[in-house]
Structure 1
Amino acid sequence: MTTDYLPSVYQQFLDRFPEVAEAQGNLARTIRERNPFDERTDRLIKLAVAVGAEAEGAVRSNVRKALQQGSSIDEVRAVALAAVTTCGFPTAVAALGWIEEVATAP
């Protein structure tokens, strides 16, 4: 996997704490292998959790990965729209803004 697209703060984390990054990566793989969802669905679920947590970095990361894994921008937006009735309008609107920024980035 190329790291060219990674935010600088994450790249710095990888450089400074490689053993932590490796352990986190192993945990993520173990969890992924344990769940019954295909990769695309798994990514949309992770996006939904990130939206609900109002975790901007995680939203942006999961949007990039969801689009790379074949989800459409409409599907990604639908995840954020679903947050209106569950997490609140401000949370959904913030997530939609982060989604659009990722989707329109060069």
Structure 2
Amino acid sequence: MSKHLPGAAGELAETNPSVWDAYSALGEATAMAGDLTDRERRLVKLALSIGARSEGAVHSHTRRGLEEDIPARDLHQVALLAIGPLGLPRAVAAGTWISDVTDEK
């Protein structure tokens, strides 16, 4: 593991490194399975996290998006795009989860 992971993911990686390594390898394989750019993959992962109602994953992909120089306004647009398929309440919730991270910066 190259860096400390926050929360439950970090605990899993610490206590079960072989499981974490296998999970990481799967993530790398799926990332390389097509032609999406790093930016596109990050925004898709953020959108999927919103759709799955996973606050922790939204935080993670927002944090990583900012580290990858994706502007906060672009990350927030993903939440706005969720209005149509997921509904206003879920999109608003996602926007607050994104703000949890973007407002820290």
Settle same-fold status: TM greater than 0.5: yes
- Give the gaps of 5 or more residues in structure 1: none
The aligned counterpart of 1:65 is 64
Q: Among the aligned pairs, what percent are the same residue? A: 33
* Structure 2 length-normalised TM: 0.92
The aligned counterpart of 1:16 is 15
Distance 1:105 1:20 in 2: 31
* Dislocated runs of 4+, deviation >4 Å: none
Task: Write out per-residue CA displacement over residues 44-93 of structure 1, whole angstroms, 9 at most, x where no aligned residue.
Answer: 01101111111111111110111111210000000000001110111111
* Structure 1 length-normalised TM: 0.91
Q: CA RMSD in A?
A: 1.2
Distance 2:55 2:34 in 1: 24
The aligned counterpart of 1:101 is 100
1:1-106 matches, cutoff 5 A: 1-3=2-4, 6-105=5-104
- Give the gaps of 5 or more residues in structure 2: none
